[in-house]
Amino acid sequence: MKIARFSRIGFILAAAGSAVGLGNIWKFPYITGEYGGGAFVLVYLLTVLLVGFSIMIAEMLIGYLGRKDTVSSFEELAPTYKDLWKFGGFQAMAGLLIMIFYSVVIGWIFNYIITSLEYLPANVKEAETTFNLMLQSDFFTQLFYHTLSFVIITYTLTKGIKAGIEKINLVLMPALMIILSGMFIYSLSLDAFPKAVEFMFAADWSKLNSEAFVIAVGHAFFTLSLGMGAIMTYAASMEKGSNIVKSAFWVVFLDTSIAIVAGLMLFTFLYQYGSGPAKGPGLVFISLPAAFYEMGILGNIFAVLFFLALAFAGLTSAVSLTEPMVQYFMDRFAFSRVKASVLMGLFFWFFGIFAILSNIDGTKEYLFWGGKSFFDWIDYITAAIMLPAGGFIMAIFVGYVLEKSRVEAALKPFLKWAFEPWYFFLRYIIPIAMFVVMLNLMGVL
Ligand code: PHE
């Protein structure tokens, strides 16, 4: 059987497609608003550059050398304790868990693409009412679009690496970049642009409490798709002899620049036409449409384009969140691709219904514990706990378990003099840094 592999550009676009997602355009701006801007952005940026980039190389390496699903790759590469190490691969489950709310949010976006064609809310109050109406009482609209998202994602996965995953990324990623650049260039011409720059980059350290710190680090993992096996699974289909370091660099670079461009653009629109940086998940669904309203018909066009770009970003990430478990069932249980894709799709579709219900009046009371809804819990457990933990395991695995000679052989040609510093970083600095994050997480610090 001929094994399908990504082309070089296909791999970079697919990995970048995984990284650039709702995390960049929906989540990053609103958590930046929530945690006060500048200082939060700096912690996120530092984590991305120092920790994220190093772990990205490590995760790609495991996939590239292992060539299989995440569980088998860990198992195969571990020189001893194979049965124990294979559990590192079960992190792939986190992807399906994330999909439970991710697919629902993609559904909201589909809904907004359609409604923005002819309607925009006249002010923030109205926008809030519209959004809450959908969120809290319109179960069927949410179910309909969540199902649509399930169909597109599952269909893409059934087509496989080349005709499914590579293809959707080759089309949607450039489209996304064109739309965002166009809107960004427009935002440069607005008076409010410098205000947005200031909000995002002027650090007010007093706003950075330990929760903000944990969220910023967690977000760095989430936005780079790290710690879960998405990048690992894609890397298993990389061409032999690929430059892992260069690919990792491009993914980090594209992901970070798109987050910053999207953030600057959104905050500019919000300062110029709206009420400034709003907080919470409603930011792009509430404050932004109200700001677009002020722009007249151009606002409708912008709104539709913006939500299209957001949908593109979300879909390419969603595919990568589901693929690791699809690959797992294909490799370990000899499922056909179609069967594995449909089964995994049905999993997140089914539990996604509970994510919807956890916001609906009348049912949400039953899906709410300890100050968070089912929806929020899944987000919190995956992004703040599972992904950093997964990244930690990968760093330890590449730093201590894999034979150094293998790591060196695969990376030294590309990292050159930077190999030893990178290796040192992975072995000593990252574990300590992650430990501090975990202490923070447990509220010890
Ligand atoms: N990186 C994606 C985003 O920013 C989400 C994601 C997380 C995808 C983990 C794959 C793995 O939206």
Q: Is the dihedral angle over the CA atoms 308, 311, 320, 398 positive or is it negative?
A: positive
Cβ of 105 closer than 6 Å to ligand 1, yes or no, is: no
Rounded distance from Cα 441 to ligand 1 centre (Å): 21
pLDDT digits (tens, 9 = 90+) for 158-169: 999 999 999 999
Q: Name the pTM for this structure.
A: 0.94
Per-residue pLDDT band at 445 (split at 50, 70, 90): low
Q: Where are the alpha helices (DSSP H) in 79-122?
A: 82-85, 93-116
At 441 the pLDDT is 74
Q: Which of 20, 44, 104, 222 to mutate to test the pocket of ligand 1 (most atoms within 8 A of CB)?
A: 222
Per-residue pLDDT band at 278 (split at 50, 70, 90): low
Cβ of 142 closer than 6 Å to ligand 1, yes or no, is: no
Q: Which residue has the tokens 């990504």?
A: 6
146 pLDDT more than 70:
yes
- Can you tell me which atom of ligand 1 is nearest the CA of 387? 9
Per-residue pLDDT band at 35 (split at 50, 70, 90): confident
Average pLDDT, the chain: 93
- Burial bucket for residue 196 (CB in 10 Å: 0-12, 13-18, 19+): buried
At 283 the pLDDT is 84
Please check whether residue 264 is in contact with residue 180, taking contact to mean a CB–CB distance below 8 angstroms. Answer: no
Q: What Cα–Cα distance (Å) separates residue 92 from each residue in 100, 227, 303, 332, 358?
A: 14, 9, 34, 14, 24
Nearest-CA residue for ligand 1 atom 10 is 225
Rounded distance from Cα 1 to ligand 1 centre (Å): 31
Residue 62 phi, psi dihedral angles, 5° rounding: -60, -45
**CA geometry: angle at 344 spanning 343 and 345, to 5°?**
90
- Burial bucket for residue 191 (CB in 10 Å: 0-12, 13-18, 19+): exposed
Average pLDDT of span 194-199: 93
170 pLDDT more than 50:
yes
Please check whether residue 410 is in contact with residue 65, taking contact to mean a CB–CB distance below 8 angstroms. Answer: yes
Chain-centroid distance, C-alpha 195: 27
Cβ of 225 closer than 6 Å to ligand 1, yes or no, is: yes
Residue 282 is encoded by which pair of tokens?
């409603």
Average pLDDT of span 260-284: 85
**Measured torsion, CA atoms of residues 75, 76, 77, 81, in degrees rounded to the nearest 10:** 50
Rounded distance from Cα 98 to ligand 1 centre (Å): 8
Which residues, other chains included, contact 298 with Cβ-Cβ below 8 Å and sequence gap of 6+?
none
266 pLDDT more than 80:
yes
pLDDT digits (tens, 9 = 90+) for 70-86: 999 999 999 999 999 99
pLDDT digits (tens, 9 = 90+) for 301-334: 999 999 999 999 999 999 999 999 999 999 999 9
**What are the residue boundaries of the structural domains of the chain, listed by start?**
8-441
Cβ of 19 closer than 6 Å to ligand 1, yes or no, is: yes
**Which among 96, 339, 336, 137 is positioned nearest to 229, based on CA atoms?**
96
What amino acid occupies position 402? L
Rounded distance from Cα 93 to ligand 1 centre (Å): 13
Determine what percent of the chain is predicted with pLDDT higher than 70. 98
How is domain 8-441 classified at the CATH fold level? Answer: Hydantoin permease (1.10.4160)
